[in-house]
A and B are shown apart, each in its own frame.
Chain A
């Protein structure tokens, strides 16, 4: 099975670490809300897990003054893609 994990709190929440204790190799991470600071060059922890596919929600990225050039290794997607990802992965686990 594969799981899409959403993370909606900023790096200081430690949520990414918690999430990483529970991920399997076919999983993906989607950053939403304040979670989109993950993987940005303005984040205190630049390290994001390279072994997982990473997504950030465009609306939340743009709202915060971030863009593709400030985010590395992250695929920026919109709400329609978010719905598609929910379909593509077998289940969704929301970390908030």
Chain B
């Protein structure tokens, strides 16, 4: 899959890269990361959203957190696209180390290699890492 790394073109637009590294329900970090990214999209900044490490568990299909009295993160992921965030990535090794494949995931994401992750971080103005 080809990957275009988006850089800031206008001085008023900055590139924000979100690294969402935490499993969905054990802490509020997944939700906090998502909320911040959505706010960034509202400000019409360029947003990259990367699932890394245990963050990839946020994307598993068929989550239902009703019984633990929490919003189901898997459903909330669709809001990324609703807010116009199109650069949604999953880091390759994180996926592989957990025996996951793209078919196990609730939303469509692009696979990001190590090298591309480093490039994405390098070319961003701000990196928010949770």
Complex Cα distance A39/B129, Å? 23
User: Range of interface residues on chain B?
Assistant: 10 to 19
Stretch of B38-46, B61-69, B75-83, B115-123 with 4 or more beta carbons under 8 angstroms from chain A: B115-123
Complex Cα distance A93/B127, Å? 6
Complex Cα distance A14/B93, Å? 14
Report which of A23, A91, A95 forms a contact with B125, defined as CB distance below 8 A: A91
Q: How many A-B residue pairs have CB under 8 A?
A: 36
Residue of A nearest to B123 (CB): A1
A65 within 8 A of B: no
Residue of A nearest to B121 (CB): A22
Q: Which of A3, A14, A22, A95 has the most CB of B within 10 A?
A: A22
Complex Cα distance A57/B41, Å? 35
B124 within 8 A of A: yes
B52 within 8 A of A: yes
With A21-B91, A23-B118 given, name 17 new contacts (CB 8 A): A1-B122, A3-B121, A3-B127, A14-B53, A18-B52, A21-B117, A21-B118, A22-B19, A22-B118, A22-B121, A23-B121, A24-B119, A24-B121, A91-B125, A91-B127, A93-B127, A95-B129
Report which B residues bind A (CB closer than 8 A). Answer: 19, 21, 52-53, 91, 93, 114, 117-127, 129
Report which A residues bind B (CB closer than 8 A). Answer: 1, 3, 14, 18, 21-24, 91, 93-96
A-B contact pairs, 13 of them (CB 8 A): A1-B122, A3-B122, A18-B21, A18-B52, A18-B53, A21-B52, A21-B114, A24-B122, A91-B124, A91-B126, A91-B127, A93-B121, A93-B127
